[in-house]
Amino acid sequence: MITADAVTTYIRQVFPDAAVTVIDKTGTQDHLIVRVTSAGFAEKNLLDRHRMVYQALAAPMKDGRIHALEITATTPDEVK
Amino acid sequence: MADPIEEEIQREIKANKILIYGKGTKAMPMCGFTRETMHFFEKYGYPYELIDVLSQPAKREALTRLTNWPTLPKVFIDGQFYGDTDILDPMEAKGEVVPLLKKAFDAS
């Protein structure tokens, strides 16, 4: 279990400018959809963007607070 | 001396145009994301292989190191790593999947 605020804090350690949306997919607060918008993704391909988000959330994933994670990673100007 | 597990992975990646390393088998996928990835490829009608790494922890670890990608499933198309449906869905939305699969299967 992890709160949206905790997820946001982890992400902002890597992407200080990030806008973060956390959706609890199953109501158990450990199957999450995490949408990150940050200029830090500019010029990065999809795989590397997701790797960066995984690195930011490595701790809660390793200790099981996050069990499943779906990621979207966009730059501010890519957001429609 | 190359690691036998990594050699096995390289063989598997070359032997299968679409290869999913995941949890469970085609008959009994054991994870929503693995099932979702299977359905993703079934839509296109190309053959794919699912290799269960729940039962092969050493291979699972080697794959994580090889791809610098912490989760399962892990998808390889034509020998290239493509993460999972988090990557393939946006690629599909941009129309990049069909040409990729065509190239993979027509080249044989």
Contact A58/B at CB under 8 A: yes
pLDDT for position A17:
97
Contact B81/A at CB under 8 A: yes
Average confidence (pLDDT) over B20-25: 97
Contact B47, B17 (CB under 8 A): yes
> In degrees to the nearest 10, what's the CA dihedral of B71, B75, B80, B82?
-70
Distance from CA of B87 to the nearest CA of A (A): 6
Cis status, amide bond into B73, omega within 30 of 0: yes
The dihedral through the CA atoms of B16, B17, B20, B25 has a sign that is negative
Quote the pTM value: 0.93
Inter-chain CB proximity B82 and A47 less than 8 Å: yes
Inter-chain CB proximity A58 and B70 less than 8 Å: yes
Inter-chain CB proximity B83 and A61 less than 8 Å: no
Contact B96/A at CB under 8 A: no
Residue at token pair 């099981």:
A64
- Nearest CB among A47, A54, A72 relative to B70 is that of A54
- In 10 A of CB B98, how many CB atoms? 11
Average confidence (pLDDT) over A60-68: 95
pLDDT for position A59:
97
One-letter amino acid for residue B30 of the chain:
M
The 10s digit of each residue's pLDDT in B40-92 is: 999 999 999 999 999 999 999 999 999 999 999 999 999 999 999 999 999 99
Average confidence (pLDDT) over B17-29: 96
Would you say residue A80 has pLDDT above 80? no
The 10s digit of each residue's pLDDT in B3-12 is: 999 999 999 9
Q: How confident is the model at residue B2 (pLDDT cuts 50, 70, 90)?
A: confident
Inter-chain CB proximity A46 and B90 less than 8 Å: yes
ipTM: 0.89
Contact A22, A28 (CB under 8 A): no
Q: Which residues pair with A31 in a beta bridge?
A: A68
Average confidence (pLDDT) over A3-9: 97
